[in-house]
């Protein structure tokens, strides 16, 4: 069973074993993708035009536009529900990882300072390795706790360059 929360308030329990049910009520539906990329959906005798505007696999959310109305749907799969029932709901959340050198190289430039808040995708360091400049980017939102290297210094593979929290 998948739990779907629509616009942060309406909750639905969806089961799709042999037949599709929503909150224990059988739902008859079909959907066809149109050449425009939209979907034509027929559910319980009613016709809807749906468009998928955004899919965020990491946060398990989908933004849909159905008949000109926006719906944000948050999904909980069985594993998410099990972890929540055990009190460890955020166990699947991405762990903030320190930035390590994937290969030996020379630190050309450190682009952050201790205490700085960084966002996923922000450049944090430039490492020259095998005559190429490699820009390291944050893999998640974090705060720079400590910088372990100085510019123009050599580093070894696996060496921690920046500690994040």
pLDDT tens per residue across span 43-89: 989 999 999 999 888 788 999 999 999 999 999 888 877 777 777 66
* Model pLDDT, residue 71: 95
Q: Is the pLDDT of residue 97 over 70?
A: yes
Query: Which pair of tokens denotes residue 123?
Result: 């450049």
Q: How far is Cα 112 from Cα 101, in angstroms, rounded to an integer?
A: 16
Q: Which residue has the higher pLDDT, 153 or 165?
A: 153
As annotated, the residues of the chain forming the CATH 2.40.50.100 domain(s) are 99-164
Categorize the per-residue pLDDT at 95 as very low, low, confident or very high, splitting at 50, 70 and 90.
low
Q: Is the pLDDT of residue 27 over 70?
A: yes
As its CATH architecture, domain 2-92 has 2-Layer Sandwich (3.30)
Task: Give every CB contact of residue 35 below 8 A, 6+ residues apart in sequence.
Answer: none
Give me the CATH code for the 99-164 domain, please. 2.40.50.100
Taking the C-alpha atoms of 30, 31, 32 and 35 in order, what is their torsion angle to the nearest 10 degrees?
A: 160
pLDDT in tens, 120-161: 889 999 999 888 888 988 888 889 999 999 999 999 998 999
Query: What's the mean per-residue pLDDT of the chain?
Result: 88
Q: Is the pLDDT of residue 92 over 70?
A: no
Q: How far is Cα 50 from Cα 39, in angstroms, rounded to an integer?
A: 5
pTM of the model: 0.51
* Model pLDDT, residue 93: 53
As annotated, the residues of the chain forming the CATH 3.30.700.30 domain(s) are 2-92
Q: What are phi and psi of 77, to 5 degrees?
A: -85, 170
Q: What are phi and psi of 99, to 5 degrees?
A: -95, 120
């Amino acid at each position: 069973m998948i739990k779907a929360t629509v616009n942060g308030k309406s909750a639905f329990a969806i089961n799709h074993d042999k037949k599709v049910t929503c909150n224990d009520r059988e739902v008859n539906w079909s959907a066809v993708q149109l050449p425009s990329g939209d979907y034509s959906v027929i559910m319980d005798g009613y016709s809807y035009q749906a468009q998928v505007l955004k899919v965020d696999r990491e946060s398990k959310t989908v933004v849909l536009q159905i008949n000109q109305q926006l719906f944000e749907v948050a999904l909980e799969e069985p594993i998410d529900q099990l972890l929540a029932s055990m009190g460890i709901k955020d166990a699947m959340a991405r762990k903030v990882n320190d930035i390590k050198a994937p290969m030996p190289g020379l630190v050309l430039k450190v682009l952050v300072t201790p205490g700085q808040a960084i966002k996923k995708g922000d450049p944090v360091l430039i490492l020259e390795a095998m005559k190429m400049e490699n820009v390291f980017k944050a893999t998640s939102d974090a705060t720079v706790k400590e910088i372990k290297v100085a510019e123009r210094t050599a580093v070894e593979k696996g060496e921690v360059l920046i500690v994040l929290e």
